[in-house]
Structure 1
Amino acid sequence: MQTEKVVDHIVNWLKEYATNAGMNGFVLGISGGIDSAVTSALCAKTGLRTLCVEMPIHQHTDQVTRAQQHIDWLKQHYANVTNLEVDLTPVFDEFKKAAPQVEASDTLDLTLANTRARLRMSTLYYFAGLHGYLVAGTGNKVEDFGVGFFTKYGDGGVDLSPIADLMKTEVTEIAKFLGIGSAIVSAAPTDGLFGDSRTDEDQIGASYPELEWAMKEAENGKTADDFDGRKHEVFKIYKSRHSANLHKMKPIPVCDIPVNLKK
């Protein structure tokens, strides 16, 4: 990958899109992970206002620390970067109290995890509306178009997606090029939605390099039967996730009413 040229391309694309839309800059959530770190740095490089928002909800300490360190690094290098912390823990806890109580289950855990993501989306759009900013998405290609590892109308609710055509390994390459801290680059990817240290790989069952491989093989028309051992298992994981989450990746279905029924 021609990393420097890719960076310049994304930065120019971001600046042109915001300018044409008549918007003042960008707002995005900073999680302490590599995707949000790279996206925020790319937004900052446009020279347009870039608001970085921390939105902890019973967040793991390591994630909070990395997020704060990255924001400090951004502000040292880019005068157009500002930041805010909005502690959404009380909001989340009040929501759980207000909602009907149900028996504990994995389904409840996942639903509440998605609720966290949707609270954060609402918060980002609050600031976007106040300041005339675009909400920048932080999803990479495998997450957004491979396994659908994002929350519908949560972290999937954005105005534009600067890194969604980049594999996770390519995002890592850009992070190193931009000089993003080694603690973020080397941290195990996590969505941070469960208040513990579980990683993306723990949840999905495969690493990002494995999923990238499976995504490319699927695009080339391969099936699980073409592989043995771990590759067979990874390919099945990829296809299962991809099929289950297609509803996130496709446009919302619209019921077309026959013209004769409207007469």
Structure 2
Amino acid sequence: MQTEKVIDHIVSWLKNYAEKAKMEGFIIGISGGIDSAVTSTLCAKTGLKLVCLEMPIHQMANQEARAANHITWLKENYNQVSSNNINLTPVFDSFVEAVPDVENEADQSLSLANTRARLRMTTLYYFAALDRLLVAGTGNKVEDFGVGFYTKYGDGGVDLSPIADLLKSEVYEIAEALGINPEIINAAPTDGLFGDDRTDEDQLGASYPELEWAMEMTEKGKTENDFYDRKKEVFRIFNKLNKANKHKMVPIPVCEIPNHLK
């Protein structure tokens, strides 16, 4: 990958899109992870206004620290960057108290994880509307179009996706070139939606390099019968997740009324 040229291309694309849309700049949620760090830096490089939001909900201290350190670094390097820390823990707790208890704790845990993401989306759009800002998405190609590893109308609810055509490995290449803090680059990827230290790999059952491989093999028309042992398992994991989450990757189904009924 021609890393520097890719960076320039994304920055130019972001700036042109915002200017044509007559928007003032961008807003992004900073999680302390690699994707939000790279996306926010690319937005900052446009020279347009950038607002960074920290939105902790029972967050792990190390995730909050990485997010805060990245924002500090951005402000030191780009003078049009501002930030705000919106503690959503009380909002989340109030929601949990308001809804009835359920018997299946696993289902509730996943549902509440998605609720965290949707509360953050709502917060981002609240501030975006105040200052004519575009909500920048942080999903990469494997997450957005491979395994659908995001929350529908949560972190998937954005105005534009600057890095969604980059594989996770390519996001790391961009991060190195941008000078992203090593503590972020070296941290295990996590969505931070469960209030603990579980990683993306813990949830997905495979690492991003493995999933990238499976995505490539699927695109080449391979089947699970072409592989053995761990490769076969990873291939199954990828395709199971891709099938289960396909609804996130396609337009919302519309019930079309036949002309003879109108």
Bin for the TM-score computed over the shorter chain: over 0.9
In the other structure, the counterpart of 1:257 is: 257
* CA–CA separation in structure 1 for the residues paired with 2:13 and 2:224: 37
In the other structure, the counterpart of 1:51 is: 51
Length-normalised TM-score, structure 2 = 0.99
Matched, 1:89 2:89: yes
1:72-221 superposed matches below 5 A: 72-221=72-221
* CA–CA separation in structure 1 for the residues paired with 2:46 and 2:103: 48
Displacement of 1:103 after TM fit?
2.5
- Runs (4 or more) in structure 1 with deviation over 2 Å come to none
Q: Which amino acid aligns with 2:125?
A: Y
CA deviation vs aligned residue, 1:64-87 (integer Å, no higher than 9, x gap): 000000000000000011000000
Q: Which amino acid aligns with 1:225?
A: N
User: Which runs of 5 or more structure 2 residues have no equivalent in the other structure?
Assistant: none
* CA–CA separation in structure 1 for the residues paired with 2:51 and 2:18: 14
* CA–CA separation in structure 1 for the residues paired with 2:141 and 2:75: 28
Q: How many residues align?
A: 262
CA deviation vs aligned residue, 1:26-73 (integer Å, no higher than 9, x gap): 001000000000000000000000000000000001100000000000
Q: Alpha carbon RMSD of aligned pairs, Å?
A: 0.5
Q: Which amino acid aligns with 2:39?
A: T
Displacement of 1:101 after TM fit?
1.9
CA deviation vs aligned residue, 1:169-197 (integer Å, no higher than 9, x gap): 00000000000000000100000000000
Matched, 1:32 2:52: no
Displacement of 1:104 after TM fit?
4.8
* CA–CA separation in structure 2 for the residues paired with 1:184 and 1:95: 31
User: Which runs of 5 or more structure 1 residues have no equivalent in the other structure?
Assistant: none
* CA–CA separation in structure 2 for the residues paired with 1:28 and 1:114: 18
* CA–CA separation in structure 2 for the residues paired with 1:10 and 1:221: 30
Length-normalised TM-score, structure 1 = 0.99
User: What percent of counterpart residues are identical?
Assistant: 68
* CA–CA separation in structure 2 for the residues paired with 1:100 and 1:237: 33
Displacement of 1:100 after TM fit?
1.5
* CA–CA separation in structure 2 for the residues paired with 1:221 and 1:32: 36
* CA–CA separation in structure 1 for the residues paired with 2:102 and 2:253: 30
Q: Which amino acid aligns with 1:34?
A: I
In the other structure, the counterpart of 1:238 is: 238
